Amino acid sequence: MLQVEKLRKTYGTEIKYEALKGIDLTVEDSEFIGIMGPSGSGKSTLLNLLATIDQPTSGNILLNGNNPNKLNQEEIAKFRRRELGFVFQSFNLMPTLTVEENIVLPLTLDGEKIAVMDKALKILADRLGIASLLKKRIAEISGGQAQRVAVARAMIHQPQLLLADEPTGNLDTKSSKDVMQLLQTLNQEEKATILMVTHDPLAASYCERIVFIKDGQLVDEIHQREGQKQFYDEIMVKLAEIEGVENEF
């Protein structure tokens, strides 16, 4: 459903910095993929290009065969609202709105009917265990609850692809586990296709596949085959290899 071909991103004119150096990546329907690598490896650059927040220097991004980078600004805005869902480390919720107003915001921007929004909201709020929070303001709920609200907002319009950028970065251990179990459930039961950037091996262990980036290139990938605990151990070993610290132990 997502095809990334020879993706390159260069910043600067006189002094150039090549953040991505020809990335090739295929994501199938209903996959849950983690993107990992050292700081400055190109993880966030890749996510920003997939999110159409930034434009590639060269190469193609195809979502179900369509290249969003060939759209005009108005079409790109519509593409983001309808085809993509976003979950950020900082939640990016609107503090002046209630929980329910935040969740239905993508549908509100698209001019959806109230009855359709109410039905979608009820189903999702019950599904994610946040029905009791709907009338509260963002300042009245915890960080873990806020991230659940952010996931609900990202899923309300049933996007083709959910992009998550360090979704557990601002959460305590229990809230992190809750959010990752929630994403895993959405993937397994709702068949949501999820691409997640994370530096956290425990969060990554909920994924089916991890791709590793170093110096702007995909250098390796591993698949979960024998359960989460074994996958976590595999991730730790692979990170040590990629970051060049295997000889320090």
Which residues touch 237 (CB under 8 Å, ≥6 apart)?
Answer: none
Listed residue (208, 99, 95, 104) closest to 154, CA to CA: 104
Please give the pLDDT value at position 248. Answer: 43
Phi first, then psi: give them for residue 63, nearest 5 degrees.
-110, 110
C-alpha 55/C-alpha 58 separation (Å) is 9
10 by DSSP, 3-state: which? strand
Of 138-142, 168-172, 212-216, 224-228, the range with the lowest mean pLDDT is: 168-172
Of 22-31, 83-92, 138-147, 229-238, the range with the lowest mean pLDDT is: 83-92
What is the rounded average pLDDT of the residues 179-198?
92
Give residue 4's Cα distance to chain centre: 16
Given a cut of 80, whether residue 245 has pLDDT beyond it is no
Listed residue (205, 201, 200, 199) closest to 236, CA to CA: 201
Q: How many CB atoms lie within 10 A of CB 236?
A: 14
C-alpha 44/C-alpha 150 separation (Å) is 19
Contact 26, 62 (CB under 8 A): no
Which one is predicted more confidently, 12 or 231? Answer: 231
Compute the mean pLDDT over every residue in the chain, rounded to the nearest whole number: 91
Question: What is the pTM (predicted TM-score) of this model?
Answer: 0.89
Please give the pLDDT value at position 204. Answer: 97
- If one counts the domains in the chain, the total is 1
What is the rounded average pLDDT of the residues 212-228?
95
pLDDT tens-digit profile of 110-165? Answer: 888 999 999 999 999 998 889 999 999 999 999 999 999 999 999 998 888 999 99
Please give the pLDDT value at position 170. Answer: 86
Which one is predicted more confidently, 133 or 74? Answer: 133
Please give the pLDDT value at position 247. Answer: 47
Contact 45, 19 (CB under 8 A): yes
DSSP secondary structure letter of residue 165: E
C-alpha 163/C-alpha 154 separation (Å) is 9
pLDDT tens-digit profile of 82-107? Answer: 889 999 888 889 999 999 999 999 89
What is the rounded average pLDDT of the residues 39-49?
92
Given a cut of 70, whether residue 246 has pLDDT beyond it is no
Given a cut of 60, whether residue 236 has pLDDT beyond it is yes
Please give the pLDDT value at position 74. Answer: 86
Confidence of residue 78 (pLDDT cuts 50, 70, 90): confident
Domain residues for 116? 2-248
102: domain CATH number?
3.40.50.300
What is the rounded average pLDDT of the residues 158-178?
90
